[in-house]
Amino acid sequence: MTDTAFRHDLEAVFHRAAEAGVTRMVTIASDLDDALRAAELAAARSRCWSTAGVHPHAAGDASPDTVAKLRGLLAHDDVVAVGETGLDYHYDNAAPSVQRALFDAIWPWEPKPDSPSWSTPARPMTTLPRRSATCPPAPGGSSIASRAATGPSERPWPPAGGCPSRESPVSSRSVRSTSSARSRRTG
C-alpha cells in the first residue's frame, strides 16, 4: 500500500477492498523508508496494520541507524510483524553473510510467547531453530517456530567477529499478537 503505484488512487484501493469484503489489511515494508510510510498509514487507518523490516536484497544498504529505527517501529501497536526480512540467496543482491548479520540484528524483537513465525518449509531451517523454541507443525506441515519472550536482545550491527558460518536460505516473518490494538480497532 506504500508503493508509489498507489500514490494517486490509494483511497480508491481501500474503497475497492472494502467493497470486496476485505475487513483488515497488513501492509508489508521492504526497507526502512517503506516501514516508516507503512507505520504512518497504519496509524491513520482503522483495520490496517504494518510491518517493519528490510528485504534481504537491500541488506547491504542497512546501517546501525536502520536497525535502531526498525526496532523502535516494532514497539508500536500498529506495527505487528517483522518483515519483510529473511535470507534470500537466489539472487546476488547482498552477500549471504550480510543478509545473515542483518537478520540476526533485526530478529531480537521479542514477540509474545504464543506468536507464530512463518518460514519457507522448502529447505531445512538452521537460523530460526538455533535461536527459537520449535512448535509442532501447523496444519499442512508448514514449519512454525516461536521464540520465548525473554526480553529484548541487543545485537550490534554489523556484528563483531563476523557472521555464523552456516548457510540458511530461510525467509521468515514473525507475527505478534496485538490484542489491545485489535480490540480498539475492530469493534
CB atoms near residue 48 (< 10 Å): 19
Amino acid sitting at position 46: S
Cell 500498529 sits on residue: 78
C-alpha dist (Å) from residue 118 to 23, 144, 170 = 22, 6, 10
Is the pLDDT at 161 greater than 70? The verdict is: no
Residue 171 DSSP symbol: B
C-alpha triplet 7, 13, 16: angle, nearest 5°: 165
For the chain, the farthest-separated pair of C-alpha atoms sits apart, in whole angstroms, at 53
> Rounded to 5 degrees, what are φ and ψ at 29?
-90, 150
Cis? peptide before 158, omega within 30° of 0 = yes
pLDDT at res. 25: 92
The residues, any chain, with a CB within 8 Å of residue 110's CB and separated by 6 or more, are 147, 149, 150, 151, 152, 153
β-sheet bridge partners, residue 50: 27, 79
The pLDDT tens digits of the residues spanning 33-48 come to: 999 999 999 999 988 9
The pLDDT tens digits of the residues spanning 98-146 come to: 998 888 888 766 654 555 555 554 444 444 444 444 333 434 443 333 2
The pLDDT tens digits of the residues spanning 57-93 come to: 999 999 999 999 998 998 888 998 888 888 888 888 9
3-class DSSP state for residue 169?
Answer: coil
